[in-house]
Copies of this chain bind each other. A is one copy, B any other.
Amino acid sequence: MTENLTSISELGEFGLIRHLTKTIELRQPSTIKGVGDDAAIIQPPQGEQLVLSTDMLVEGVHFDMTYAPLRHLGYKSIIVNLSDICAMNVLPTQVTVSLAISSRFSLEAVEELYTGMRKACDWYGVDLVGGDTTSSVTGLVISVTAIGFAPPGKMVTRSGAREHDLVVVSGDLGGAYLGLQVLEREKEVFRSAPGNQPELSGYEYLLERQLKPEARKDVVELLDALGVVPTSMIDISDGLASELRHLCAQSMAGCDIYEEKIPVDPKAISAAAEFGLDHITCALNGGEDYELLFTIRQEDYDKVKGNPSLTVIGHITPLVSGCRLITRGGSIAELRAQGWDSFPGGDH
């Protein structure tokens, strides 16, 4: 197999940027000027406020190049940020992307990464309006900033949950973490016997949850269509338990969550069993599902009831009650945020 790969240094810095950005399309009416100047220019819709969020993905911490295809990685790096904007109940409109790329990357590899980023931008109707491309002496680092606009009354923070509000989660949980377990296992197998092909069939759903997550823009649109403005909202990047604790802490409230209500896909349940893990623990602490966790007023219950994208998992209690998990057996346990890593990183 002969490959003719182009080294980045052949193009030079500005050549690389021109090459990567030459076919970028702008769709948002608010984008006045995208890539190509000292800064992008954006026209805020009249009367609307700006939401702004940033995230950094680091090789060896947030992703492993041995099993994260570059295209998926590019896609995911955009999604992680769009999810933060969605978690304000806002639709994202623009992103900027900064990349630190080691010289071992070929132009073709950078293009793969960019293709994934642009695919995410296309799919979510978001404009890539600027960034920074630099060399790295070590690993790949991707930093994305996303913005969106909404009228003040529509934006939802983490701090508005009130006693008796219902706790709702979108989609299902734990899948991304179990997808990672599958990838880690196959990496180990490959290490001990490099000739073997990885056994990934049957795990497609979990792998997609890990490698190609989606931001729940559709849930923001759904809530708008249902006429529901949540009282508080957060996205689940670090696991349900951790995010529930953040939401409750900032709302100065507690919560009761029912184990039996936590949505876990059957494929995640069977994979958890296979790895000797409790699937509820995976859902509570796994993270990276990028689902939305939010609270609604009791009177909005009828609007969300029975919606396949939304599950009511509990309710908000007074602060003194703390965050509690009611198990299937009816026993009550404190909901603990047990990250799997000691210092993986997080928004602030």
Cross-chain contact of A138 among B40, B90, B138 (Cβ < 8 A): B138
Let me know if B100 and A344 touch, CB within 8 A.
no
Residue among B13, B50, B339, B348 making CB contact with A345, cutoff 8 Å: B13
Whether A50 and B44, one on each chain, are in contact in the complex, defined by CB atoms closer than 8 angstroms, is: yes
* Shortest distance from the beta carbon of A11 to any chain B beta carbon, whole Å: 9
The 9 closest A-B CB pairs, nearest first, are A134-B345, A138-B138, A143-B143, A39-B53, A60-B137, A38-B87, A44-B44, A17-B348, A56-B98
Tell me whether A35 is interfacial, beta carbon within 8 Å.
Answer: yes
A14 at the interface (CB under 8 A from B): yes
Interchain CB contact under 8 A, B38 and A53: yes
Known: A54-B98, A129-B52. A38 touches B158 (CB 8 A): yes
The reply to whether A84 and B39 contact each other, CB–CB distance below 8 Å, is yes
Mask: chain A, 249-287; 1 = CB below 8 Å from B; 0 = not: 010000000000000000000000000000000000000
Contact of A49 (CB < 8 Å), options: B43, B60, B135: B43
For the complex, give the distance between the alpha carbons of A98 and B158 in Å. Answer: 21
Question: When the two chains form their complex, are residues A40 and B12 in contact, meaning their CB atoms are under 8 A apart?
Answer: no
Contact residues, A108-161 vs B (CB, 8 A)? 129-139, 141, 143, 145-148, 152, 155, 157-159
Minimum C-beta distance from A181 to chain B (A): 21
A347 within 8 A of partner (CB): yes
The answer to whether A345 and B133 have CB atoms under 8 Å apart is: yes
Which B residues touch A14, using CB under 8 A? 346
A258 to chain B, nearest CB (A): 25
**What total of chain A residues lie within 8 Å of the partner, measured CB to CB?**
82
Interface presence of A59 (CB below 8 A): yes
Q: Which residues of B contact A9 (CB under 8 A)?
A: 342-343
- Tell which of A39, A54, A94, A346 has the most Cβ of chain B within 10 Å: A39
B52 touches A32 (CB 8 A): no
Q: Are B88 and A36 in contact (CB under 8 A)?
A: no
Residues of B close to A223: CB separation below 8 A: none
A96 proximal to B (CB < 8 A): yes
Q: Which residues of B contact A13 (CB under 8 A)?
A: 339, 343-346
Find out whether the CB atom of A137 lies under 8 angstroms from the CB atom of B61.
Answer: yes
**CB of A234 within 8 A of chain B?**
yes
- The docked-state distance in angstroms from the alpha carbon of A347 to that of B96 is 11
- Alpha-carbon separation in the docked complex, A58 to B152 (Å): 37
Q: Does A241 contact B (CB under 8 A)?
A: no
Contact A157 B37 (CB under 8 A): yes
Q: Mask for A313-348, Cβ within 8 A of B = 1, else 0? A: 000000000000000000000000001001111111
Does A33 sit within 8 A of B, measured CB to CB? yes
A180 at the interface (CB under 8 A from B): no
Q: Tell me which residues across on chain B come within 8 A of A348, comparing CB atoms.
A: 17, 20-21, 35-36, 130-133
**A68 at interface, CB cutoff 8 A:** no
Check if B41 sits within 8 Å of A50, measured CB to CB: yes
Taking CB atoms, residues of chain B closer than 8 Å to A12 are 339, 342-343
CB distance from A6 to the nearest CB of B (A): 13
